[in-house]
């Protein structure tokens, strides 16, 4: 433990210097790299140059009136605060001699003036805090809203890379560090800069020589601050990544609590989490260490300067070239001059921490959806409600996921309006990929997917939503009631519409047997209802949406045989007139289809009516025979 902590500074310093060190402590080094698990660092999104500054400016833009008011209030407050020592000097050099001659006026004036200044400083501080608090709240609300809206707008492939834990950390810890900067840091900075300027001016005005020494001490202080800033920047970047890693691990583990239990992963998770926590602690330690060094060095510089000035000033008072009151005021001012330097360190801390966070947020906000909304959206021609189906075409489509090889090598396919097509094929053949392209979760790398002759890429979002609906195996339910979950398909639907959809799909009976019927809260992730029941709800949701093209990707995989039968029965009504793509491993589902496609490695290898394919000699015939045999 001690070895780790003692070795840390060497590493931190090396990081800051940008050199590699071989003598760093093994143990802490191991923790850093192992815990990082190359998961987080390397694909943190790069933010384009200047993006962080632009983001901060745009956040402050709406509150620029408040920013200006805040600066004015701080300026006035500085005037009130800095008047103090001047009044003391006046009291010593004028008030006391006058007092000896029984003239009390000057001293009373000083006392009253001091009181007024103190009161004004307090009042102005209060006003400033009120203004800045409002400003902070607005900025943070704005930023959090932006992160949420942007993350939601980004495409599926983004979310596959960027875990929800990282998004949570962006909108919590990173927003929080900006809050710290705005609420404490900025005030510090403005206060420190203003008092530096005003005190230096005051000292130079009081006595050019003494003031000159004080101003000269700024040079080493400046160098010190610059060095500190650079070092602490590195440390805070690492710290913010470490915090995110902790949150990601936390979210991931608890999201997957069932497999964690099933595979008794608790101990392994505990260890991994402890390592991440330790890494966070180490980076925290780094930042404290940098801070401590900075404070020690800056005090050394400050105290040396004060000692020099006092000695020289005392010598000059003794030789009658300096008034005692002026020296007293100068010393008071000097204390005030150097006191804020510690606080400047605090500011730099919160600044660097916020900068690291803002950079990450800016990187996130700079992401553009890979499936963008069309610039000039097109509408589809209206079709009658009896035949809602639309024609689907894959025209020279090639597709590869961002990570991995080509899944669809070259794909041409045409589905007639109202046709029900079953897609079968082995695991990993590309069936779901086909479905996701049709639902426009992704855009093809090459070629086009057309709905009634219109490229999905140029289709207006509401058109696409009404046009294509996909029901998957996962059947995700949002928190809320069963009825609300079904109504997601068509928010304006009445209770009758909802019940009709549920009845059509065979979900009505199970829903009415729930404690509150349609008003039963499904709670977190539908934990209360079974997987098959969830699929039925998702089915009803899709039916209510009344899409032109309905895609069912293993949508009945969790149902029992009677349940699936019931759904199949319902399918005749549900799919009637629609274009439907039914992906299924269970061949019983295929019976509703007008046409069957067999896919292998991203290609359609067989295409025909079920009867044709069953009668033939191909793969589907084999599959079908095997399935038949298994039933007997």
Ligand X SMILES: Nc1ncnc2c1ncn2[C@@H]1O[C@H](COP(=O)(O)OP(=O)(O)OP(=O)(O)O)[C@@H](O)[C@H]1O
Q: Which residue stretch of 142-150, 325-333, 430-438, 541-549 sits at the interface with ligand X (rule: CB under 6 A)? A: 430-438
Tokens of 57: 């400016």
- What is the greatest pairwise CA distance in the chain? 126
Q: Select from 359, 282, 277, 292 the least CA-distant residue to 15.
A: 282
Q: In this chain, which of 407, 501, 548, 567 binds ligand X, going by CB under 6 A? A: 407
Pairing of strands 446-451, 454-455: antiparallel
Instruction: Indicate which of Mg ion, ligand X, none lies near residue 19 (CB less than 5 to 8 Å, by partner kind).
Output: none
Give yes or no for residue 589 binding Mg ion (CB under 5 A): no
**Is residue 556 involved in binding ligand X (CB under 6 A)?**
no
Asked whether 284 and 261 are in contact (CB, 8 A), the reply is no
- CA–CA separation, 433 and 428 (whole Å): 9
Q: What is the dihedral angle through the alpha carbons of 225, 228, 230, 231, rounded to the nearest 10 degrees?
A: 180
CA distance 530 to 515: 14
Total binding residues toward Mg ion, as defined by CB under 5 A:
1
- Provide DSSP, 526-570: GTTS-HHHHHHHHHHHHHHH--SEEEEESTTTTS-HHHHHHHHHH
Answer for the pair 305, 199: CB distance below 8 angstroms, yes or no.
Answer: no
* Contact call for residue 562 and ligand X (CB under 6 A): no
- Using rule CB under 5 A, residue 557 touches Mg ion: no
From residue 414 to residue 433, what is the string marking binding to Mg ion with x (rule CB under 5 A)? ------------------x-
Give which of Mg ion, ligand X, none residue 615 binds (C-beta under 5 to 8 Å, depending on kind).
Answer: none
Q: Which of 437, 324, 248, 413 is nearest to 89 (CA)?
A: 324
Q: How far is the CB of 605 from ligand X (least distance, A)?
A: 13
> Taking contact as CB under 6 A, which single stretch among the options 245-253, 386-394, 423-431, 541-549 is the one that binds ligand X?
423-431
Of residues 409 and 608, the one with the C-beta less far from ligand X: 409
Q: Which does 152 bind (CB under 5 to 8 A by kind): Mg ion, ligand X, none?
A: none
1-9, 40-48, 143-151, 431-439 -> range binding ligand X (CB under 6 A): 431-439
Candidate list 249, 279, 431, 508; residue touching ligand X; CB under 6 A: 431
Nearest approach in angstroms of CB 590 to ligand X is 14
Residue nearest to Mg ion (CB): 432
Cβ closest to ligand X, residue 319 vs residue 427: 427
Which of these ranges, 102-110, 398-406, 451-459, 484-492, lies near ligand X under the rule CB under 6 A?
398-406
Q: What's the CA dihedral at 338, 339, 342, 343 to 10 degrees?
A: -120
Residue 632: CB minimum distance to ligand X, A? 25
Name the DSSP class of 174. I
Half-sphere exposure (Cβ direction) of 474: Cα atoms closer than 13 Å? 6
Nearer to ligand X, 430 or 547 (CB): 430
429 binds ligand X (CB under 6 A): yes
The residue (of 381 and 404) whose beta carbon lies closer to ligand X is: 404
- Give residue for tokens 């069963």: 482
Nearer to Mg ion, 344 or 599 (CB): 599
Least Å distance, CB 398 to ligand X, is 13
Q: Which residue has the tokens 């349940």?
A: 563
Question: For residues 459-474, b (16+ Cβ closer than 10 Å) or e, as one string?
Answer: bbeebbebbbbbbbbe
CB of residue 432 vs ligand X: minimum separation in angstroms?
Answer: 3
Helix (H, G, I), strand (E, B) or coil at 396: strand
Would you say 45 or 584 has its CB closer to ligand X? 584
Rg over alpha carbons for the chain, rounded to the nearest Å, is: 35
Cα–Cα distance, 186 to 180 (Å, whole number): 9
**Which member of 19, 22, 319, 427 binds ligand X (CB under 6 A)?**
427
Q: Which is nearer to ligand X, 387 or 586 (CB)?
A: 586
Whichever of 77 and 558 has its CB closer to Mg ion, that residue is: 558
How far, rounded to the nearest angstrom, does the alpha carbon of residue 413 sit from its chain's CA centroid? 39
# binding residues, ligand X (CB under 6 A): 13
Gap between the terminal Cα atoms of the chain: 67
Closest CA to 28 of 338, 403, 284, 319: 284
What ranges in 366-454 are assigned the alpha helix state H?
Answer: 431-438
User: Which residues, listed in sequence order, are joined to residue 448 by a DSSP beta bridge?
Assistant: 395
Q: 509 phi and psi, to 5 degrees?
A: -65, -45
- Residue 369 binds which of ligand X, Mg ion, none (CB < 5-8 A, kind-dependent): none
Residue 434 or 451 with smaller CB distance to Mg ion = 434
Cβ at position 551, least distance to Mg ion in Å? 11
- 43 binds ligand X, rule: CB under 6 A: no
Pairing of strands 420-425, 595-600: parallel
| Among residues 114, 250, 312, 401, the one that binds ligand X under rule CB under 6 A | 401
Closest separation between CB of residue 407 and ligand X, Å?
4
The three-state DSSP-derived secondary structure of 2-41 is HHHHHHHHHHHHHHHHCCCCCCCCHHHHHHHHHHHCCCCC
- Residues in 107-166 that interact with ligand X by CB under 6 A: 160
Query: CB under 5 to 8 A by kind: which of Mg ion, ligand X, none does 404 bind?
Result: ligand X
Q: Which is nearer to Mg ion, 473 or 588 (CB)?
A: 473
How near is the Cβ of 609 to ligand X at its closest, in Å? Answer: 22
Which of 47, 420, 433, 535 binds ligand X (CB under 6 A)? It is 433
Q: Give the C-alpha separation, 289 to 279, whole Å.
A: 15
The listed partner (ligand X, Mg ion, none) that binds 306, CB under 5 to 8 Å by sort, is none
Query: What, of Mg ion, ligand X, none, does residue 2 touch, CB below 5 to 8 Å by kind?
Result: none
CA–CA separation, 251 and 36 (whole Å): 16
- How far apart, in whole angstroms, are the C-alpha atoms of residue 380 and residue 254? 44
Distance between CA atoms of 440 and 555, rounded to whole angstroms?
18
Check residue 428 for interaction with ligand X (CB under 6 A): yes
Does residue 444 interact with ligand X by CB under 6 A? no
Min. distance of Cβ 429 from Mg ion in angstroms? Answer: 8
Partner whose binding site includes residue 403, from ligand X, Mg ion, none (CB under 5 to 8 Å by kind): ligand X
For residue 425, the minimal CB distance to ligand X (Å) is 6
Give the C-alpha separation, 284 to 181, whole Å.
Answer: 17
Nearer to ligand X, 151 or 424 (CB): 424
Q: Quote the CA–CA distance of 135 and 181 in Å, as a whole number.
A: 12
For position 237 contacting ligand X by CB under 6 A, the verdict is no
50 binds, among ligand X, Mg ion, none (CB under 5 to 8 A by kind): none
Rounded to 10 deg, the angle between the 64-90 and 105-153 helix axes is 160
| 191, 313, 430, 547: which one binds ligand X (CB under 6 A) | 430
Residues that bind ligand X (CB under 6 A): 160, 401, 403-404, 407, 425, 427-433
Residues that bind Mg ion (CB under 5 A): 432
């Amino acid at each position: 433990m001690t070895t780790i902590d003692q070795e840390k500074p060497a590493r931190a310093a090396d990081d800051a210097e940008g050199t590699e060190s071989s003598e760093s402590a093994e143990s802490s080094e191991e923790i850093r790299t192992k815990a990082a698990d190359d998961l987080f660092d390397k694909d943190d999104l790069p933010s384009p140059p200047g993006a962080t500054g632009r983001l901060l400016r745009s956040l402050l833009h709406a509150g620029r009136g408040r920013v200006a008011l805040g600066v004015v209030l701080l300026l006035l407050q500085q005037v009130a605060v800095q008047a103090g020592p001047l009044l003391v000097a006046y009291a010593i050099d004028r008030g006391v001699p006058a007092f000896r001659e029984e003239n009390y006026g000057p001293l009373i004036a000083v006392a009253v003036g001091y009181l007024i200044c103190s009161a004004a400083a307090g009042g102005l501080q209060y006003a400033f805090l009120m203004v800045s608090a409002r400003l902070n709240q607005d900025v943070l609300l704005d930023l959090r809203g932006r992160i949420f809206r942007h993350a939601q707008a980004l495409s599926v492939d983004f979310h596959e890379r960027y875990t929800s834990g990282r998004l949570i950390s962006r909108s919590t810890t990173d927003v929080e560090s900006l809050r710290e900067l705005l609420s404490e840091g900025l005030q510090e900075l403005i206060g420190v800069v203003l008092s530096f300027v005003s005190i230096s001016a005051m000292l130079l005005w009081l006595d050019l020589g003494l003031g000159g020494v004080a101003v000269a001490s700024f040079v080493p202080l400046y160098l010190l601050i610059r060095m500190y800033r650079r070092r602490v920047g590195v440390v805070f970047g690492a710290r913010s990544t470490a915090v995110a890693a902790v949150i990601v691990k936390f979210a991931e583990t608890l999201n997957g609590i069932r497999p964690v239990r099933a595979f008794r992963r608790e101990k392994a998770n505990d260890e991994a989490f402890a390592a991440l926590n330790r890494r966070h602690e180490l980076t925290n330690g780094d930042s404290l260490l940098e801070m401590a060094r900075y404070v020690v060095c800056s005090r050394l510089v400050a105290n040396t300067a004060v000692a020099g000035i006092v000695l020289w000033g005392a010598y000059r008072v003794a030789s009658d070239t300096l008034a005692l009151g002026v020296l007293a005021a100068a010393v008071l001012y000097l204390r005030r001059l150097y006191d804020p330097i510690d606080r400047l360190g605090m500011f730099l801390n919160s600044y660097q921490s916020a900068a690291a966070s803002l950079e990450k947020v800016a990187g996130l906000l700079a992401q553009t959806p890979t499936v963008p909304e069309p610039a000039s959206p097109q509408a589809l021609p209206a079709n009658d409600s009896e035949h809602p189906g639309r024609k689907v075409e894959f025209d020279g489509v090639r597709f590869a996921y961002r990570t991995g090889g080509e899944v669809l090598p070259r794909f041409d396919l045409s589905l007639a309006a109202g046709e029900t097509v079953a897609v079968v094929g082995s695991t990993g053949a590309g069936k779901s990929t086909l479905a996701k392209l049709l639902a426009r979760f992704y855009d093809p790398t090459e070629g086009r997917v057309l709905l009634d002759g219109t490229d999905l890429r140029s289709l207006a979002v509401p058109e696409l939503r009404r046009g294509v609906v996909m029901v998957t195996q996962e059947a995700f339910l949002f928190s809320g009631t069963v009825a609300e979950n079904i109504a997601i398909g068509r928010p304006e639907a009445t209770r009758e519409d909802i019940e009709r959809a549920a009845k059509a799909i065979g979900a009505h009976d199970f829903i009415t047997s729930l404690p509150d019927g349609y008003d039963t809260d499904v709670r977190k992730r539908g934990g209360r209802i079974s997987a098959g029941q969830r699929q039925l709800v998702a089915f009803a949701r899709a039916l209510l949406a009344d899409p032109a093209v309905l895609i069912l990707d293993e949508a009945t995989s969790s149902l029992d045989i009677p349940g699936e039968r019931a759904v199949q029965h319902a399918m005749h009504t549900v799919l009637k007139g629609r274009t439907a793509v039914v992906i299924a491993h269970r061949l019983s589902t295929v019976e509703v289809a007008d046409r069957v496609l067999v896919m292998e490695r991203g290609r359609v290898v067989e295409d025909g009516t079920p009867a044709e394919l069953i009668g033939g000699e191909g793969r589907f015939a084999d599959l079908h025979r095997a399935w038949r045999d298994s039933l007997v």
